[in-house]
Every structure is written in structure tokens, then in C-alpha cells.
Structure 1
Amino acid sequence: MLETYGDHWVLAIGGALIGLLFGFSAQRSKFCARAAVIECCEGEWRQRFAGWMLAFASAVLVVQFAISLGFLKPETSRQLGSLGSISGSVLGGLMFGMGMIMTRGCASRLIILSANGNLRAWISGLVFAVTVQATISGALAPIRQNIASWWLIDGGADRNFLNYFGVSSWAGLLIGFVFLGVAVWRFRETSGSAKPMIWENIFVGLAIAAGWLFTQWVASASFEPVAVQGLSFSGPSAEWLTRVLYTETAPKFAFDAGLLPSVFVGSLIASVFFGEFKFEGFQTENKLGHYLSGAILMGFGGVLAGGCTVGAGMSGGVVFSNTAWLTLISIIAGAAMTYKFLKIIGAPT
């Protein structure tokens, strides 16, 4: 297959298929990190929290099992093999979490909602993509580079905190089962209407794992260097913005290029098939600034932190990257503090 179609097109097609699975499953399960954090802030710890934990546990178990078998080797991935930034992970994660509350969804959720006819998500997603591009190589890049340089750590085996503490991938499997146990425990507290969404959340997790396994398979079979990676939405959003604006100079199609539009299509198919597609706009004028400010915070914070809730939190978390876990914890902290603050001042959440 690689000889016939070439690495780039195989990666793009694989990314598209995985994106369809993620988009369809995330739409049906209403998978949302923001909603999970809000449940925790309200002391509920119910459907959304259980769904997020189940998706994460599913991804951890599959990825760590593949690592224990020697099939998956994520050491050269961006999350583990490259230079990391503690300051970027913490500050970027806090900013992303703040923005996630203000825009009513993280980067992947904005794509899901956009495909359901949510015009607020369309506008927020566009501002998010522009901010990401400005942070990667535009006017905001020097600020990002300066903050990231405050506390750097080398890439290598110790970026995986399982290796750092001298335990094997079997410990990762054990942690995955703990997360699974927590998810099952909380699902027992949910109403009957939420229980059919168990499989949809599992498929979200399997899509996360599939990104790692598929790119590893291509990297192992290819004679060209291929990045082993999981799902991510910050960088691909900027990449597609560049493709739309500068088609002739756009990079070759690869995994990320196939992933992002297919997540949109998968969510669109689900929303139309189940009768949930409808156009929605801004109900009040003062919410526009709320959403746009959040999108800017998410765009800058996502690049500074090295990813979003999916790219860093889940894709990086399942390979136990220390900076990815710092990012995830910081996103949760930033989101929780912002939600509580907005409630105190009576602002819309």
C-alpha cells in the first residue's frame, strides 16, 4: 500500500478514517472535557466525568498494551522525544482551561459543535485557528518562545514518568484499569438514558489509541521518516487555515490533514442521522466578546502548552508524558478556577 499510494496519502487516509470514528463517537457521547470539569466543580461527578474517564481509560489500556508488546515505540514522538517546557505546560494549560470555559468547549468540541450547526463554534474555531497560527510562526511567536524558555527539560526516556520512576508499561496498564474502575463506578450513578453512551465513549478512546497505532505501523513499514503521533487539534487547525489561504505553498497531505476535516464530517453525519443538526447563533450581544476572548486564550495556550485537551491531555497522557500530564492538570485547574470565578460574579458560563 505504501509503495502504491505513498506515505503521505496513506497517512491522510488513515487519519480520515480515524477522524470519522472520533467525530461520530464524540458527537453521540457528547464527549467534552469542559462539561466533565464543570460536573466536578458542582460536586456531581456523573455522566460527563464518567464518559471522559472511560474514554481516557480505553486509550491508556490499548496504548500501554501495545507498548508492553513492543509494537508501539513512542520514544521518538513529539510528546517524549523533543525538548519540553514545564513553564509552557503550566501557563499554557491554565490559559487553555480558562478559554475552554469561556468558549463553552475545547478545540475538538468546537469542531463537533460546528458540524452540528453551531455558528458560535464556527466563529470561535476560526479565531482559535488564527491565534494558533500567530502563536506558531506569527506575531505571538516571540512571546510564546520567551515563556517556554523559562523552564526547559530535555527529551528522552525520562519524559515518560513511568520510566522516570523505574516502572514498566505494565504499571501503565494498572493505572488504566484504575481509571476504568473509576469510570464504571461513576456510570453506576448515572440515569438509564446515559448508559447507552458507554460504547460511544469507549470508541472515542479507541480513536485516540488508533492514532498512535496507525502512525507507528506506517513508520515501521516506511523507508521515509514518519512521525509517530496521536490525535491533536491545535496544530492541524492552523495547518488547515494555511491550506485554505495559501494552497500552493501548503505542506503535503499527511495524518493531521486527513484527521481534522473528517472529525467534522463524522460529527455532521451523526447530527443529521439522529436529527440533532440545527443552526444556532449568539443569543445575546455581550457573549461575543466572551467567546472570542476564550478562543484567543485557547489558541495561544494550546500552542504554548504543546496541545489541547486531546492533543496533550489524552494523546500525550496515554504515553505518560510528564509535560502532557502537567498540561492536563493545568487545563483542569484553569477551567475550574474560571468557572468558579464566573459564577461568583454572575457572568454566563
Structure 2
Amino acid sequence: MLISGLLIGAALGFVLQRGRFCVTGAFRDVWIAKNTWWLSALFVAIAVQSVGVWVLDALGVITLSSTGFAWLATIVGGFVFGFGIVLAGGCATGTYYRAGEGLVGSWFALLFYALFAAISKYGPLAGTTQALRGITTEHGTIHETLHVSPWILVALLVAVAALWARHHLTKPRMKVATLPPERTGLNHLLFEKAWNPFATAVVIGLIALAAWPASWATGREFGLGITGPSANIANYLTTGDLEMVDWGVLLVVGILVGSFIAAKGSGEFKIRVPDAQTIVRSIAGGALMGIGAAWAGGCTIGNGLVETSMFSWQGWIGLGAMILGTGAAAKIFIAPRKKSAAPGRVPAGV
């Protein structure tokens, strides 16, 4: 049954790469471009998964439960993670699928993300992580706090996601260059045609949903997750402990495989070596991602996609903290470059 992790990971990596689904870009665009197009697509993915997850829970296929909310660790860790993804040039899944495309900077970011996630979960920083996550509140979910049925929140989420998507779909948007319309067929759809962000989001939501029963069947009682499996890879490589190789580890390996297949098929795979400054930033960003995700209990997938679908406080507060962290880093590292490159200005050094 572990092989299902590899297959679902490959499907996720393929869809992420072909759909260019980048959560870092979604967060960054909120601050730099004042655009919520990709953020609204993320909400569609969350809504699709949320409906399915609560149906699975109602049918007894899985059993959703909650613990206390580690509020301080979630806020601080989410902010640190959000800051780090700007330096790294991608969030957890974004770094994986860009590594599969041949981006050497993402290789460095991925290496240090896994390393520092392991350090924060199992190594010298484990005590700090445990101390932060030991500060909790009683209720871990929004519906517990409000004393309402989770289905009320499901209905509200679906309505918000649908209206938000409709708002963007009815607005004019810059057209993406595509191949001539006479090209048709499965190969054109899979490797040539530009994918609609909202269609991509629906597919990601369905893949996230499929991960629940597949993972549950192996004894891992959760859906998609990136940080824990990445830390387990680093742990396995340093200790040789085969118990670390679980469904989640095969999932993240599958993301690399799927994104590589997509990039090769679409002609987008190429080994690209960045300059020294980009490599240093990738390393720093990867380290911050690993620490932040370990403290927050999840990354843009574990918290931003999965926990949000369960209406946990960790998921939604963590999502907000990541957006704020991304905004802070964008204002420091991206906004000045945009200003220096604006018409009428001469960039420094030119």
C-alpha cells in the first residue's frame, strides 16, 4: 500500500508543474501586484478537499479529531516559513516541483529545508519546537470553538471560494500564449496547453482528497504532508532507520518524479545554475522554511491546504501568518527591485 504514496505524489508533482501552481506566488501577488487570482484558486482547492474530507469522515472511512491549538508556535513558525519561501523562491511543494524541473537553486533550498526540518523535529532544536508547541489552547478547531456543525463551515467555504473564483473568471485577464488551436489530443492537453488555474486547483483538491484514504490505509492517519516526510528523509539518510520511510516519504519522492516527467514532456526541463547570491538566499530560505514549518506544525500544504479543510485553528491562523511573512519578505527583497526597474529609473549598477 505504500506505493500509493509514490503514485499520488507523482500525480501531484505533474499537476503542480503543468499548472504552474505556486502558493508562494499567490501570497506574493497579494502584496506586490495587489492580485488575488492565485490565492482564490488555492481556496478552490481547499474547498474541494473540505467537502470530500467531511464526507469521508461521515462515512467512517477516516475519523477526524483535534487536539489543542499551539497558537504561539503556529503564528511564529508560520511567519518564519512565509519569510523563508520568498528567499527560497518557492514553498514546500513549489521547491519540490522546481527541483524536478532542474532548478539548482531549488535543490539547495530543498536540501536545507529537509535538513532544518529534521533538526527542528529530531535534533538540537527539538526542545525549542516542543516548548513552543506546548503552549496551547483547549479547542483546536473553529467549529468546536463556535459550537456549530462543521458542515456550516463547509457550506460557507464553498460559497466564498465559488464567488471569489467567479469574480476572477468574469474579469479580463492577460492571455497566456498557447499553441495554435488546431492542435488537439491528450498529448496537447498534458504537455502543451496552458492549464487554467481554477481547473488545476480542482484537480489538486481531488488529489489531496485521494491522499486521505490511501495514507490512512498504511496507518498514517493524515492527508498530504511535506515537512514531516522531508524531515524523515533526512533522518533516514543519517541514521538508516527504515521506519522513517513511510507513505509520506514516498509521496514527496513522487512529487519529484511527477514534476520531472511533466517538465521533460513539455520541454521545460533544463539544468539552470543561479548566481551565488541566489544560492545563498535559497539556502537561507530553505533553512527558515524547515524551522518555521516544524514550529507551525505544517507548511503551505500541511497547514495551508489540509488543516484548513478540517477547519483547524492551526490551518487558518498558520495560513494568515504565512501570508504576513511572505509580505514582509516581499517588501524587503522584491519591492525595491521593482521600484528600481520602474520606467524612468536607472537600476543601480547600470
User: Contact 2:96–2:110 at 8 Å: present in 1 too?
Assistant: yes
Aligned match of 1:187: 169
Provide the rounded CA distance (Å) in 2 between the counterparts of 1:301 and 1:41.
Answer: 21
Provide the rounded CA distance (Å) in 1 between the counterparts of 2:242 and 2:277.
Answer: 37
**Is 2:145 the partner of 1:153?**
no
User: Contact 1:50–1:187 at 8 Å: present in 2 too?
Assistant: no
Residues 40, 252 of structure 1: alpha-carbon distance in 2 compared, 3 angstrom cutoff: closer
Provide the rounded CA distance (Å) in 2 between the counterparts of 1:84 and 1:103.
Answer: 28
- SS at structure 2 position matched to 1:308: coil
Aligned match of 2:117: 132
- SS at structure 2 position matched to 1:89: helix
2:233 to 240, 265, 276: 240
**Is 2:271 the partner of 1:279?**
yes
Moved more, 296-305 or 193-202: 193-202
Instruction: Give 1:42 shift.
Output: 3.0
Aligned match of 1:96: 81
- SS at structure 2 position matched to 1:241: helix
Aligned match of 1:4: none
Aligned match of 1:17: 7
1:86-141 deviations in Å (ceiling 9; x for gaps): 11000000000000111111111111000000110001110111111111121222
Q: Which structure is higher in helix share? A: 1
Instruction: Give 1:333 shift.
Output: 0.9
- SS at structure 2 position matched to 1:105: coil
User: Contact 1:65–1:169 at 8 Å: present in 2 too?
Assistant: no
**Is 2:120 the partner of 1:120?**
no
1:232-283 deviations in Å (ceiling 9; x for gaps): 1111112112333333x2216432122111111111111111111111111x
Provide the rounded CA distance (Å) in 1 between the counterparts of 2:131 and 2:56.
Answer: 37
The residue type paired with residue 268 of structure 1 is: F
**Is 2:214 the partner of 1:214?**
yes
Provide the rounded CA distance (Å) in 2 between the counterparts of 1:237 and 1:336.
Answer: 25
Aligned match of 1:342: 333
Aligned match of 1:305: 296
Residue segments in structure 2 that go unaligned for 5+ positions in a row: 177-193, 341-350
1:37 to 27, 30, 41: 27
- SS at structure 2 position matched to 1:251: helix
The residue type paired with residue 129 of structure 1 is: A
Instruction: Give 1:326 shift.
Output: 1.3
User: Contact 2:95–2:110 at 8 Å: present in 1 too?
Assistant: yes
Q: CA RMSD in A?
A: 2.2
Residues 339, 169 of structure 1: alpha-carbon distance in 2 compared, 3 angstrom cutoff: same
User: Contact 2:47–2:154 at 8 Å: present in 1 too?
Assistant: no
Instruction: Give 1:214 shift.
Output: 2.8
Instruction: Give 1:153 shift.
Output: 2.8
**Is 2:90 the partner of 1:105?**
yes
Provide the rounded CA distance (Å) in 1 between the counterparts of 2:205 and 2:26.
Answer: 15
User: Contact 1:28–1:270 at 8 Å: present in 2 too?
Assistant: yes
User: Contact 1:208–1:230 at 8 Å: present in 2 too?
Assistant: yes
1:39-96 deviations in Å (ceiling 9; x for gaps): 2113442543343232222222222333344543211xxxx24x54111000000000
The residue type paired with residue 231 of structure 1 is: L
Aligned match of 2:49: 59
- SS at structure 2 position matched to 1:229: coil
1:161-200 deviations in Å (ceiling 9; x for gaps): 1132122132132133121321232233334536634332
Residues 15, 40 of structure 1: alpha-carbon distance in 2 compared, 3 angstrom cutoff: same
- SS at structure 2 position matched to 1:31: coil
Aligned residues: 320
Moved more, 118-127 or 134-143: 134-143
**Is 2:306 the partner of 1:315?**
yes
**What are the residue-to-residue correspondences of 1:240-279 with 2, within 5 Å?**
240-247=233-240, 249-251=241-243, 253-279=245-271
The residue type paired with residue 150 of structure 2 is: S
User: Contact 1:230–1:316 at 8 Å: present in 2 too?
Assistant: no
Instruction: Give 1:344 shift.
Output: 5.1
Provide the rounded CA distance (Å) in 2 between the counterparts of 1:22 and 1:173.
Answer: 24
Aligned match of 1:3: none
User: Contact 2:10–2:258 at 8 Å: present in 1 too?
Assistant: yes
Instruction: Give 1:300 shift.
Output: 0.5
Instruction: Give 1:142 shift.
Output: 2.3
Residues 345, 335 of structure 1: alpha-carbon distance in 2 compared, 3 angstrom cutoff: same
Aligned match of 1:172: 153
User: Contact 1:96–1:331 at 8 Å: present in 2 too?
Assistant: yes
The residue type paired with residue 50 of structure 2 is: V
TM-score normalised to structure 2 length: 0.84
Residues 239, 98 of structure 1: alpha-carbon distance in 2 compared, 3 angstrom cutoff: same
Provide the rounded CA distance (Å) in 1 between the counterparts of 2:243 and 2:59.
Answer: 34
